[in-house]
Amino acid sequence: MFAELNELLGASPQRPEPGEFTLLRDSRTDGSFLVHHFLSFYLRAGCKVCFVALLQSFSHYSIVAQKLGVNLTAAKERGQLVFLEGLKSCLDLVFGEEEEQPGQPSPLLFLSESPSDLRALFDFVRVSLSAPGSEAWAGPVLLLDDLSVLLGLGATPVALLDFIHYCRALVCCQLKGNVVVLVHSSEESEDEENELVVNSLCHHSDLILWAEGLATGFCKDVHGQMKIIRRVSLQQAGEQDLVQIYQYKIQDRNVTFFARGLSAAVL
Partner 1 sequence: MAAAGGARGRTSFQRRAGTGARPAALPGTRPALRHGQLLLSSGLPSLDCVLGGGIAVGTLLLIEEDKYGLYSNLLFKYFLAEGIVCGHDLFVASAKEHPDNILKELPAPLLDDTCGKELGDEAATVKSEDFQDSMKIAWRYQNLPKMEASPTPYTKFGHYYDISKKMSPELIQSIKWHSFYLHEEPSSLPKMKTCNMNGAYVRLLQSLQRIISQGGFDGSDPQKKQKNVLRIGIQGLGSPLWGDDICCSDTPEDVHSLTKFLYVLRGLLRKSLSACIITVPAHLIQFAIEKTKTYPMNINYLFHHIGCVFCFRVLQNKAIMERVTNLSDMVVGLESFIGSERETNPLYKDYHGLVHVHQIPRLNSLICDVSDTKDLAFRLKRKLFTIERLHLPPDLSDTVSRASKQDLAGSAKLLSSGCGAMAIGKKHLDF
Binding site for partner 1 (CB under 8 A): 30, 32-33, 36, 56-57, 59-60, 63-64, 67, 87-88, 90-91, 93-95, 111-112, 115, 146, 148-149, 151-154, 184, 186, 189-194, 217-218, 220, 250-253, 255
Report yes or no: 183 and 198 within 8 Å, Cβ to Cβ: yes
Tell me how many degrees the CA angle 195-200-40 measures, rounded to the nearest 5: 90
The nearest distance, CB 113 to partner 1, in angstroms, is 9
β-strands 140-145, 48-53 pairing: parallel
Beta carbon nearer to partner 1, 40 or 134: 40
Question: How far is Cα of residue 180 from the mean position of the Cα atoms in its chain?
Answer: 4
Beta carbon nearer to partner 1, 174 or 189: 189
The nearest distance, CB 152 to partner 1, in angstroms, is 4
The nearest distance, CB 192 to partner 1, in angstroms, is 5
Beta carbon nearer to partner 1, 34 or 81: 34
Beta carbon nearer to partner 1, 39 or 171: 39
SS3 content of the chain, % helix, strand, coil (to 5): 40, 20, 40
The nearest distance, CB 134 to partner 1, in angstroms, is 29
The Cβ-side half-sphere exposure at 140, using a 13 Å CA radius, reads 24
CA distance 53 to 90: 12
Report yes or no: 240 and 196 within 8 Å, Cβ to Cβ: no
β-strands 207-212, 224-230 pairing: antiparallel
Beta carbon nearer to partner 1, 12 or 186: 186
The nearest distance, CB 72 to partner 1, in angstroms, is 13
Q: Cβ neighbours of residue 169 under 8 Å, at least 6 residues apart?
A: none
Beta carbon nearer to partner 1, 91 or 173: 91
Beta carbon nearer to partner 1, 15 or 218: 218
Within 10 A of 250 (CB to CB), how many other CB atoms are there? 14
For 4, the 3-state DSSP assignment is: helix
The nearest distance, CB 37 to partner 1, in angstroms, is 10
Identify any residues that bridge with 247 across adjacent strands, giving them in sequence order: 225, 258
The nearest distance, CB 146 to partner 1, in angstroms, is 8
